[in-house]
Amino acid sequence: MIKKRYILNFPPQSGDKAFTYHLVKEYDIRINILKAEVYPGKRGSLLLELQGKKENIEKGVEYIKSHKITCESLDKRIRWKEEKCIDCGNCTAVCFAGALNMDKQSWKLEFDKSKCVVCELCIPACPLNLFEIDFR
Amino acid sequence: MSTTKTYEEINQKLKAGKAVVLTAEEVAQMAKELTPEEIVEKVDVVTTATFGAMCSSGAIINFGHANPPIRMEKIRLNGVPCYEGLAAVDSYIGATACNPDNPEYGGAHVIQDLLEGKDVVLEAWAKGTDCYPRKHIKTKININTINEFTLFNPRNAYQNYNVAVNTTSTIKYTYMGSLLPNLRNATYSTSGELSPLLNDPEFKTIGLGTRIFLGGTQGFVVWPGTQFHTTKPKNELGVPVTNGATIAVMGNLKEMSAEYIQAASYEKYGVSMFVGIGIPIPVLNTDIAKRVSINNSQIETSVLDYGTVGTPKLGQVTYEELQSGTIKVKGKKIRTAPVASLKKARKIADELKKWLQNGEFEVTKPVHMFPSNTSLNGLKEMEVDND
């Protein structure tokens, strides 16, 4: 069993299919919808956490992609310009998901992208503007 | 009779490579086993440091004279307004000034761009005089074309600072970071036991002329900082439990490094600048040994509600609690986050320690000590005659 987060982007004409139903029913994947922005007839974006057997998740992702929906691993959509980070800690103040933490020994910023829920609060919180999240 | 040392003795030991130099964190650790009498025997200098956003910062720049010359009466650097009331081609750019068309870019960014060797657009206007006939200039400058480029920060290195929380139901964007509603986070900015002015709370060694680490080079303490307040409430160890004294510092930006000067922009607040400061404290006697031995469990600070006008105090916590990740305020457990870099402060303290050990840096006896009984005026509003 593995657990992984994906960002899905729907084109305007794909809003009428029950993808999550198929993922559960045909691929035995447990789904947690962490964030959703769906504008019928325009576009939709979803942050899903998929939990299941590795091969089932791979097949499920292929199934989604076969319907002209982009489906990318969350960590590929998050950018943190670590080399410019001064480890001030401002972003950890707003990260209620616990993805951004200060290491209590080194006081270096640690970013565990697998815990990110794309609340996007770190983007304005960073005084050096080092975060980018591509959700939409 | 307990040991006392002079500045000269310590400097001789530094020059001979025989001095014992420790960081304030190391000496705080040592003090768990040794008495101040033993520490003054063993340790000669303690290095302290901080790397935080310090809004009251800026740079003096002399642009050099153009031909024909101009007496600059309105000046912009990359669109950021600079002070124009200093002769013909002198200016002061404040860190928090910003470009009105791009408010996230400010004086701190101009200073950083120059420091990094980038070209910056200088535009200036004047009425034109007999001796300075020119009325307009638009050109590029960089760190090599300008004459003096001097960091002059009127208020830096606050002695302690408040913890910020927000009791309201909406997020507050402040210089202490984004404060989540309903006490869901708390931010703090001081490096605790490593912080310079907490290790010399009564200014026994820090004064006018103290040589310091500033932005990666040697700089100086040049005056008490603005809002210099020495009579704030103190704990039983003599350490203020809220923001107290400050220092004004100066140094040559041409020798500084962008690693220790960093422009910053805060959401819905504005621009500020991180400044790296390290101060060596000579361990002259047992009293100073006692002061530098202080640890995070002995340093307290006030928790203020930044969501409410007047920032009422909600509690008092130690830096040990703050650095543990949670504090308790009004019975509620609150997650803490720093807004200044302890990692960088440690790097500065270590760097300064190396300079001292290598004999590249001397401790300085202040040429004048700072006042010890100061308080502050608020801005009292008075009726203005309109005639």
At residue A15, the pLDDT reads 56
Q: Are B362 and B280 in contact (CB under 8 A)?
A: no
Q: Are B61 and B146 in contact (CB under 8 A)?
A: yes
At residue A14, the pLDDT reads 66
> B279: closest CA among B162, B340, B366, B341?
B366
User: For chain A, which residues make up each domain, given as ranges?
Assistant: 2-76, 77-133
- The string of pLDDT tens digits covering residues B22-68 is 999 999 999 999 999 999 999 999 999 999 999 999 999 999 999 99
Residue A32, pLDDT above cutoff 80: yes
Catalytic annotation present for B131? yes
Residues of chain A found within 8 Å of residue B341, distances taken between Cβ atoms: 86-89, 107
> B4: closest CA among B29, B36, B34?
B36
Q: Considering the entire predicted model, what is its pTM?
A: 0.95
At residue A102, the pLDDT reads 97
- Helix ranges (H only) for B266-335 are 286-292, 319-324
* Stretch B126-134: mean pLDDT: 97
Identify the closest residue of chain A to B173 by CA–CA distance: A125
Q: Does A96 touch chain B (CB under 8 A)?
A: yes
> B125: closest CA among B78, B70, B79, B60?
B70
The pair of three-digit structure tokens given for residue A56, joined into one six-digit string: 């089932």
* Stretch B93-114: mean pLDDT: 97
Identify the closest residue of chain A to B176 by CA–CA distance: A90
Distances (CA, A) of A111 to A82, B322, B364: 9, 20, 42
Provide the CATH number for the domain formed by A77-133 in this structure: 3.30.70.20
Give strand pairing partners of B99: B102
Identify the closest residue of chain A to B269 by CA–CA distance: A127
At residue A72, the pLDDT reads 93
Lowest mean pLDDT among A41-50, B188-197, B204-213, B326-335: A41-50
In angstroms, the separation between the Cα of residue B112 and the nearest Cα of chain A is 12
Residues of chain B found within 8 Å of residue A124, distances taken between Cβ atoms: 173, 178, 267-268
* Stretch A75-102: mean pLDDT: 96
Residues of chain A found within 8 Å of residue B272, distances taken between Cβ atoms: 127
Coil/strand/helix, residue B189: coil
Q: What is the ipTM of this complex?
A: 0.93
Q: Are the Cβ atoms of A90 and B341 closer than 8 angstroms?
A: no
Q: Does A24 touch chain B (CB under 8 A)?
A: no
Which of B55, B82, B98, B131 is labelled catalytic? Answer: B131
Task: Nearest by CB to B343, from A96, A106, A128: name it.
Answer: A106
Q: Are the Cβ atoms of A89 and B266 closer than 8 angstroms?
A: no
Residues of chain B found within 8 Å of residue A106, distances taken between Cβ atoms: 343
> What architecture does CATH give domain A2-76?
2-Layer Sandwich (3.30)
Interface of B with A (CB under 8 A): 51-53, 104, 173, 177-180, 184-185, 187, 262, 264-268, 272, 274, 323-325, 337-344, 346
